[in-house]
Chain A
Amino acid sequence: MKDLIYLIAAYTSVWVVLALFIWVLITRNRNLTNQVDELEERLALLEKSTGG
Chain B
Amino acid sequence: MKRQSYFDTVLLVLTFVVMTAAIIWALHIAPTANVEEGDNQRIFYFHLGSILPGWLAFFYVLYASIRYLKCRDLLWDRRGRAAGEAALAFSSIVLITGPIWGKAAWGVFWAWDARLTSALLQWMIVLGYVMLRRYMDDEGVRARVSSVLGIIGASMIPFVYMANRWFETQHPQPVIAGGEDSGIKDINMNIALLLAMASFSLLTFLFMRIGRSLLSAEARIKDIEARTHILEEEL
Q: Which residues of A contact B (CB under 8 A)?
A: 3-4, 6-7, 9-11, 13-14, 17-18, 20-21, 24-25, 28-29, 32, 35-36, 39, 42-43, 46, 49-50
Interface of chain B, main secondary structure: helix
Q: Which residues of B contact A (CB under 8 A)?
A: 27, 38-40, 42-43, 46-47, 50, 85-86, 89, 92-93, 96-97, 100-101, 103-104, 203, 207, 210-211, 214, 217-218, 221, 224-225, 228, 231-232, 235
Query: Which residues of B sit under 8 angstroms from A14, Cβ to Cβ?
Result: 46, 50, 93, 96-97
Query: Which residues of A sit under 8 angstroms from B225, Cβ to Cβ?
Result: 35, 39
Report whether A10 and B43 are in contact in the complex, using a CB–CB cutoff of 8 Å: yes
Minimal Cβ-Cβ distance residue in A for B102? A6
Interface of chain A, main secondary structure: helix
Report whether A17 and B89 are in contact in the complex, using a CB–CB cutoff of 8 Å: yes
Given contacts A3-B40, A6-B40, A18-B93, 20 further A-B contacts (CB under 8 A): A3-B38, A7-B40, A7-B42, A7-B43, A7-B104, A10-B46, A13-B100, A14-B50, A14-B96, A18-B203, A21-B207, A24-B85, A25-B211, A25-B214, A35-B221, A35-B225, A36-B221, A39-B224, A49-B235, A50-B235
